[in-house]
Amino acid sequence: MMTFDSSQLISWISYYFFPFVRILALIAASPVFNEKQFPNRVKIGLAALTTFIITPHIPLNDTPLLEPLSFWLLIQQILIGVMMGLMLQLAFVSIRIAGELIGLQMGLSFAVFFDPSGGPNMPVLARFLNILAILLFLTFQGHLWLFSMLVDSFSILPISTNQLNADGLIILVKAGTNMFVHGLLFALPLIAVLLLMNITMGILNRMTPQLSVFVVGFPLSLFMGIYVLGLLLPQIVPFFESLFADFFLLLQAMLSALAIN
């Protein structure tokens, strides 16, 4: 008969508890999994299943669960998981920024509705691009790459009392500039076309004051925006693939920077 005491039970719980916290924090903060349509029970179940699969293959953690030092480990695992998820969230935020800029130029900035994942005032076009980005993220096996980097993070940043380097946080902050750059690059062709159209409408209005710009300009801007957006759709796939690749590289660089002491 196999017997065990309370100390062994606490040791086993602590062995799985800290990896579970990091994995659950990542799932709660990462794109796709943090959608409100993704039930919390499924998130917890997915985190528990992933923990039981990968924990036997990561470095052993022997920190007791009921010691004061375990509180610092708990905060550390939450911080690492949230930072990993936030890094990939920036890629999706850049797509939403592009949708907001395009909708503003097309005259669709008033077409907003309550969105459970993007906020209460998310434009329709931004929501459309966000859904398209989620589908492409899954098509590119981005969720599998994310879990692969999660497993690697336990080798790069093992569960220990070592302090995290602030350089990793700096990389995360600098990734915010890439968010605006990628969003502007995606919206730039359509912004340029609509800007030229508005300049042309302004010249026509000066030449023929009888022409009402407000009557003609709005439907023309809407038509040109949809037409140019349709022309850009074939280029969305390689653009999003490059976007996700850049942020995965930034995620790897952030984990490496956090581990340097």
Which candidate, 127, 98, 104, places its Cα nearest to that of 236? 98
Query: Is the pLDDT higher at 261 or at 85?
Result: 85
User: Given this model, what pLDDT does residue 17 score?
Assistant: 83
Q: Do the beta carbons of residue 102 and residue 191 sit within 8 Å?
A: yes
The separation between CA 43 and the C-alpha centre of its own chain, rounded to angstroms, equals: 17
Please identify which residue in the block is written with the tokens 């074939």: 234
pLDDT at 7 over 70: no
Asked whether residue 159 is assigned to any structural domain, the reply reads yes
pLDDT at 115 over 60: no
The separation between CA 15 and the C-alpha centre of its own chain, rounded to angstroms, equals: 29
Q: How many independent structural domains does the chain possess?
A: 1
User: Given this model, what pLDDT does residue 38 score?
Assistant: 77
pLDDT at 1 over 50: no
Where residue 68 falls among pLDDT bands split at 50, 70, 90? Answer: confident
Asked whether residue 187 is assigned to any structural domain, the reply reads yes
Note the residue count of the chain. Answer: 261
Please identify which residue in the block is written with the tokens 């076309």: 193
Asked whether residue 118 is assigned to any structural domain, the reply reads yes
DSSP label at residue 65: T
Question: What is the extent of the structural domain holding 107?
Answer: 6-259
Instruction: Give mean pLDDT, residues 118-147.
Output: 82
Please identify which residue in the block is written with the tokens 């009402």: 212
Asked whether residue 1 is assigned to any structural domain, the reply reads no
